Amino acid sequence: MSSDIVRIGIFICNRYHTCAGGKCLRSLRNREGAFSIYKEGEVELVGYTTCDGCPGGNIEYAPAEMKKNGATVIHLATGMLVGYPPCPRIDYFRRYIDTAFGLPVIVGTHPIPEKYFTIHETLGTWNSAMWQELIAPTLATPEIRLAYN
């Protein structure tokens, strides 16, 4: 990434609408998980909201507000990957936001906690090529995954 400030908007799954964002904010501060791509330079959180529940009504409108607030990238929170079931619309959300708002979308925020990694690996949830691509930014070492349990 360049030395310009990266302004981030985060969407979380509405199932976790009461989440205080602790893991996302810690991983942003520590540049872990999907935020590891910002090792250099400054980042600023300019938006944090839910998808508004299935089928994701906020995906149609909230990116515009985030963009007005300076967002240069959108992150779809790790909760959308690790909840059960994982968000069935996450790939559509990614493509829609990029196409409709011209904002790149990164899937993931904090590293996948080990307890979720283990159960989804056992269940075979992420066996497809698409899911492997989607979880890649949030994979970390077992030690880091344990720190996010």
Q: What is the pLDDT, as a whole number, of residue 4?
A: 85
Count structural domains, the chain: 1
Q: What is the model's pTM?
A: 0.93
**pLDDT of 51 strictly over 60:** yes
Full residue range of the structural domain in which residue 95 is found: 6-147
**23 lies in some domain:** yes
Give the residue-averaged pLDDT of 122-132: 95
**37 lies in some domain:** yes
**142 lies in some domain:** yes
- Give helix then strand counts, H and E, for the chain: 7, 4
**1 lies in some domain:** no
**49 lies in some domain:** yes
Q: What average pLDDT does the chain have? A: 94
Is the bond into 111 cis (omega within 30 degrees of 0)?
no
CATH (domain of 58): 3.40.50
Q: pLDDT tens digit string along 59-94? A: 999 999 999 999 999 999 999 999 999 999 999 999
Confidence grade of residue 49 (pLDDT, cut at 50, 70, 90): very high
